[in-house]
Amino acid sequence: MSRSLPRRLGSMAAVAAATAGLLITTAVGAAADSKNGVLETNEFGLYYNSGQLGCVFDVYDHDENFTNDKFKGSCSGSGQSTNDNTASYWNRDSVFDYYVYTDANYRGSWGTIPGGYKGNASSTFKNKISSTNS
């Protein structure tokens, strides 16, 4: 299940109340930070290597198809496709679970990564993840 619109609007309202006038900047910034190769709070990260090592593919909310996604940075795995090429993960969202799928468009085998959890992908998912959703 995708994050609900009320949660996002509630989050934006809280930010706007705390930093008057920055609602639009905050909304644009959240979208721009996703997939930048830096795992930030409220994002889900898939790592090139086990133990949360190597490059990280960071996503906020969902990505239905990793085919055109690549690991970024000057780290192990840089420039490699994210699709079917991840060995570990970290859910930096403390509230929402993330779901990973072995096929694009949320198909195939799926698993749940609880909020705040990190670990190595099981044999079912290691180097087989192709989409994710929160």
45 shares its domain with 10? no
Rg of the chain in Å (alpha carbons):
15
Q: What average pLDDT score do residues 81-107 get?
A: 97
Average pLDDT value for the chain: 84
Residue 17's pLDDT is what?
46
pTM, 2 dp:
0.77
Contact 34, 59 (CB under 8 A): yes
Rounded to whole angstroms, the Cα distance separating 34 from 133 reads 14
Residue 2's pLDDT is what?
55
29 shares its domain with 48? no
Q: What is the pLDDT of residues 22-43, one digit of tens each?
A: 333 334 444 447 899 999 999 9
β 53-59/98-103 pair status? unpaired
Domain extent, residue 44, equals 35-133
Rounded to whole angstroms, the Cα distance separating 76 from 88 reads 13
Higher confidence at residue 19 or residue 53? 53
